[in-house]
Structure 1
Amino acid sequence: MKNEKYQDIFQTSHRLFLQQGYETTTIRQISEQASVSLGLVNHFFHSKQELAGLILDMLFSYSSHCCDKFYPNHEDPLIHTSLCTRVNTLYLLSGKYHRLYVDSLKNDIFFQKLEKRPNTSLYQLAETHNFPVNDDLFLLYGKYVPYNFEKTLILNKESGLFSSIGYDEIPDYIIISKFERFLNRNILDDALAKARVIADKVLDSMPDTVPDSFVLDFISD
């Protein structure tokens, strides 16, 4: 069980990032609203960036948790990866986390979390679809290519470009950028179509913000 003050700081940060985004929120605001000293915030989390990164971790975990209820990873890794990408992206883009998501892309907090996550999907698919393992290409297409595609598309869309591309299309573009070099496009399109149907059900089941019970479980681990 984490220290009660740790929980207060995390929950206060979650609320302020929701209300104001990452860039506008300050450590001083967090300390004042959590009724703790600046020193204690820095003791537990070291920086605002670290706090935002942990909240992104929680959001990834919550999206995956919700997806797993409808479609477990072991059934088809490509559909599951497409589903999790769609649900996570649309949950962040289309709702109350929009500003935090955009700020995290601007400041590369999103990529710093992505960079530390296991790059398992391409290795799973190489085994399932019988294409050769290439560690360098898997790193490039598993992390750098889709992230930079996502960042470029979303931030430029926020600035008024790409108006003909809807938010609903962005997850498909991310998945295509990640896997098209390795998989037949027909296989990809079939998986994306199935993921879209399941994702609608998952998103309908999710509240606007992560439930307090999940937040507490996440920070208590």
Structure 2
Amino acid sequence: MSEEQTLNEVYADTLKKMENLTEKQKKVLQASLELFASQGFEATTSQQIAKRAGVSVGSVYHTFPTKQAILVAVLAPIFEGTMDTVANQFNDNTFGKGFESVEELVKVNIADRFYFADKNINVIRLMLGQMLVNSVFIEDLKKFFEQQAKQLVLPTIVRLQAEQKIKNLPIEKILQILFYPLATYIGKRVLGINNMSLEEEIEFATEITIKTLKV
């Protein structure tokens, strides 16, 4: 399995490619993402953002008149490159390899996504917070994941069904079964429920999912 970048690292690479932003704006957005993710949106001040970005507070206010405006600007690059890069890395580590059995499909998929979620839980928590208050953000995420599911996951599922290696359930149902454990794990982490280690979570989710999907 290749080394996968963190969301912060992918975000930084995305900002570098955005020609519509000045270098100062890129520094402010990167600093804001890191602070919002590590200590929360409400707890972060413009002064802290300016200090981390290495710019004056006046420079921050000149481009972003409110902290909410900063948050909106922070989220924009996520859909202008960051999510695509993450999806491509996911494909390289999982579905891009091809799977010969449902056991292999489930084991690799769950382990890869659980480790990714564990490493990026602070940024994921920030995104989930926006989903609660921003309907446009929810719709954008929904469209993105639906598109990625069709491009990356669907061909493998169809092939395994044709080979009678996975249950002949509707595709939507199989996708729910595959990704529900990840949603559950993220929910537990966000709520601070840590009754199992990461390895135990992966083992438990893998066992249940294989039993559910295997013919």
Residue 167 of structure 1: which of 191, 198, 202 is its match?
Answer: 198
Task: Indicate yes or no: 2:214 matched with 1:184.
Answer: yes
Q: Higher relative CO (CA 8 A, sep ≥ 6), structure 1 or 2?
A: 1
Q: CA separation in 1, counterparts of 2:89 and 2:82?
A: 10
Could you tell me the TM-score, scaled by structure 2's length? 0.52
Instruction: Verify the 8 A CA contact 1:142 1:178 in the aligned structure 2.
Output: yes
Of all paired residues, the percent bearing the same amino acid is 14
What are the within-5 Å matches in structure 2 for residues 30-109 of structure 1?
30=49, 33-34=52-53, 35=55, 36-38=59-61, 40-41=63-64, 46=69, 48=71, 51=74, 54=77, 58=82, 61=85, 65=89, 68=92, 73-76=96-99, 79=104, 82-83=107-108, 85-93=110-118, 95=119, 97-105=120-128, 108=131
Secondary structure in 2 matching 1:24: coil
How many residues are paired up? 175
Q: Deviations over 1:111-151 (max 9, x none)?
A: 777522222324531223325573553564466x4454234
Instruction: Please identify the structure whose Cα radius of gyration is greater.
Output: 2
Q: Structure 2: which 5+ residue stretches go unaligned?
A: 1-16
The 8 Å contact of residues 106 and 155 in structure 1, kept in 2 or not, is answered as: no
Partner of 2:156: 124
Determine if contact 2:50/2:60 at 8 Å carries over to the other structure.
Answer: yes
| Residue pair 1:21, 1:100 contacting (<8 A) in 2 also | no
Amino acid at match of 2:159: E
User: Aligned-pair RMSD on alpha carbons?
Assistant: 4.7
Using the alignment, how far apart are the partners of 2:169 and 2:61 within structure 1? 48
Q: TM-score, normalised by structure 1?
A: 0.51
3-state SS in 1 of match to 2:29: helix
Deviation at 1:48, TM superposition (A): 1.8
Distance in 2, Cα, partners of 1:178 & 1:42: 48
